[in-house]
Chains A and B, each alone.
Chain A
């Protein structure tokens, strides 16, 4: 049979036929989810401040607590649902980063602690680390020169 469309035409045709994600609703959900996580973080920081910790210590402890919550929720098969509901609102905060490291560690445990957990743990978070650290080194250099 002859092709009815060329690649470009077909892509256009498919775009017309395929339902889009509900952008408005998804953004609202992401805002609520991300906002809730940040509010929890702020409440923790306020609490640590009230216990006479300075801002740096309070922020460090807040990050540690949020990571712990995320790890526990991921292990209990609950963070998946938060991510499904909240999308980027659940994956951008530090809790999402923790989830992206714990989930492959759990998934690939069947291949052993070295080639499974060890090798696959940074499957998703790896690129974030590589480009996050690289760009901060680059910005640090620029700051050093400009200063």
Chain B
């Protein structure tokens, strides 16, 4: 039976299955420690297209096609696709699915989009409204840079706390009947703003949101951190990870040794110049699809809490002097 527990958590009675997952990333991500795990690494950032936005659109389109193939299903059998990215008006997603036959829901949760997508899809499925749903999210370093920061060739230095937007797309196919890891719970986050204004330190801005959602999830469900094999946040990076673990211990939850972060898993920070680590919708989406999903499938991980984190800012609102509003969604997944 579907149940709502505590303040923000839902438990699924009939759990949706994650029948397949696919991830395609850029060359820089391919050079990272997870390089061999991804389904495909595009040789050039432009992905054979004339603009970065089109390159990201194609990245999502190709990941979607691959996902259909890996899930041995066809477009006609998909009820919904729930997609999102970082670009203004969500155009990478909308244009990737232009011309497709199934219902499309575009969502924006900044880098938490993938978690939001899986949560919404699971609830739709729990409500018996769909048999197959695709959850997918992407980001692209070059399209994000031009929208949020500077032109690529502009000679500027980054701070040590800055993060590197992942060029990548990850997606999962949820099925009502089937096999594979199952979505057992979803804790939709609330918006947390601790008043930070430095857009070059988003890990620190997002950490309180991650800690809030994780702590709420554990309170709502009455679980302990070590009920999970891994609690994995989306893109807190080095600074945010440190803060999130510390905040959680102040809430009374010891996650040291259990917590990991997709932004830290993505790059080799000793060899690659990614500063505090990876970020972007594509970060948690591709790390989940290529690294965590297979481990759940082989039951090397039996239960994880996947917590994509998002900084809901725009350059405009930051220039107007506002602080960074953040969010994190927690998805409980059993292998």
- In the complex, whether A17 has a CB less than 8 A from a CB of chain B is yes
Please give me the residue from chain A that is nearest to B49 by CB atom.
A110
Query: Which residues of B sit under 8 angstroms from A82, Cβ to Cβ?
Result: 155
Interface residues of B in 273-316 (CB under 8 A from A): none
- What per-residue 1/0 map shows which CB atoms of A108-121 lie under 8 Å from chain B? 10100000000000
- In the complex, whether A62 has a CB less than 8 A from a CB of chain B is no
Q: How far is the CB of A125 from chain B (nearest CB, A)?
A: 10
Per the CB 8 Å criterion, the residue count for chain A at the interface is 40
Q: How far is the CA of A14 from the CA of B242 in the complex (A)?
A: 10
Interface residues of B in 205-260 (CB under 8 A from A): 208, 211-212, 215-216, 219, 239, 242-243, 246-247, 250-251
- In the complex, whether B146 has a CB less than 8 A from a CB of chain A is yes
- What per-residue 1/0 map shows which CB atoms of A1-23 lie under 8 Å from chain B? 10111111011011001111100
Query: Which residues of A sit under 8 angstroms from B151, Cβ to Cβ?
Result: 103-104, 106-108, 123-124
- In the complex, whether B175 has a CB less than 8 A from a CB of chain A is no
The stretch of A73-81, A127-135, A137-145 in contact with B is A73-81
Query: Which residues of A sit under 8 angstroms from B154, Cβ to Cβ?
Result: 80, 83, 99-100, 103-104, 107, 124
On whether the beta carbons of B215 and A107 are closer than 8 Å, the reply is no
Query: Which residues of A sit under 8 angstroms from B204, Cβ to Cβ?
Result: 14, 17-18
Q: How far is the CB of A78 from chain B (nearest CB, A)?
A: 9
Q: How far is the CB of A55 from chain B (nearest CB, A)?
A: 29
Q: How far is the CB of A2 from chain B (nearest CB, A)?
A: 9
Q: How far is the CB of A9 from chain B (nearest CB, A)?
A: 9
On whether the beta carbons of B153 and A84 are closer than 8 Å, the reply is no
- In the complex, whether B72 has a CB less than 8 A from a CB of chain A is no
Q: How far is the CA of A7 from the CA of B322 in the complex (A)?
A: 13
- In the complex, whether B150 has a CB less than 8 A from a CB of chain A is yes
Given the known interface contacts A1-B251, A124-B150, the answer about A18 and B155 at a Cβ–Cβ threshold of 8 Å is no
On whether the beta carbons of A14 and B201 are closer than 8 Å, the reply is yes
Q: How far is the CA of A102 from the CA of B152 in the complex (A)?
A: 11
Given the known interface contacts A10-B208, A11-B196, A110-B51, the answer about A17 and B153 at a Cβ–Cβ threshold of 8 Å is no
Query: Which residues of A sit under 8 angstroms from B323, Cβ to Cβ?
Result: 7
Q: How far is the CA of A14 from the CA of B216 in the complex (A)?
A: 22
Q: How far is the CA of A3 from the CA of B250 in the complex (A)?
A: 11
- What per-residue 1/0 map shows which CB atoms of A67-95 lie under 8 Å from chain B? 00000001101011011100100110000
- In the complex, whether B50 has a CB less than 8 A from a CB of chain A is yes
- In the complex, whether B161 has a CB less than 8 A from a CB of chain A is yes
Query: Which residues of A sit under 8 angstroms from B47, Cβ to Cβ?
Result: none
Q: How far is the CA of A72 from the CA of B247 in the complex (A)?
A: 49
Per the CB 8 Å criterion, the residue count for chain B at the interface is 34
Q: How far is the CA of A91 from the CA of B159 in the complex (A)?
A: 16
Interface residues of B in 77-115 (CB under 8 A from A): none
Q: How far is the CB of B202 from chain A (nearest CB, A)?
A: 11
Interface residues of A in 16-48 (CB under 8 A from B): 17-21, 26
Q: How far is the CA of A74 from the CA of B153 in the complex (A)?
A: 6
Q: How far is the CB of A45 from chain B (nearest CB, A)?
A: 24
Query: Which residues of B sit under 8 angstroms from A5, Cβ to Cβ?
Result: 194
Q: How far is the CA of A3 from the CA of B251 in the complex (A)?
A: 10
Query: Which residues of A sit under 8 angstroms from B50, Cβ to Cβ?
Result: 110
Q: How far is the CB of A26 from chain B (nearest CB, A)?
A: 8
Given the known interface contacts A4-B251, A17-B204, the answer about A80 and B152 at a Cβ–Cβ threshold of 8 Å is yes
Query: Could you say which of A4, A13, A75 has the most chain B C-beta atoms within 10 Å of its C-beta?
Result: A4
Query: Could you jot down 14 A-B contacts, CB within 8 Å?
Result: A1-B219, A4-B250, A5-B194, A8-B195, A17-B239, A19-B239, A21-B157, A80-B154, A99-B153, A99-B154, A106-B152, A108-B146, A124-B150, A124-B154
B residues engaging A (CB < 8 A)? 50-52, 146, 150-157, 159-161, 194-196, 201, 204, 208, 211-212, 215-216, 219, 239, 242-243, 246-247, 250-251, 323
Q: A14-B201, A80-B154, A83-B154 are in contact. List 17 more A-B contacts (CB 8 A).
A: A1-B216, A4-B247, A8-B195, A10-B208, A11-B196, A18-B201, A19-B161, A21-B160, A26-B157, A83-B155, A84-B155, A91-B155, A100-B154, A102-B153, A106-B151, A110-B52, A124-B150
Query: A-B pairs with the 7 shortest C-beta distances?
Result: A83-B155, A7-B195, A107-B151, A103-B153, A103-B154, A103-B151, A110-B51
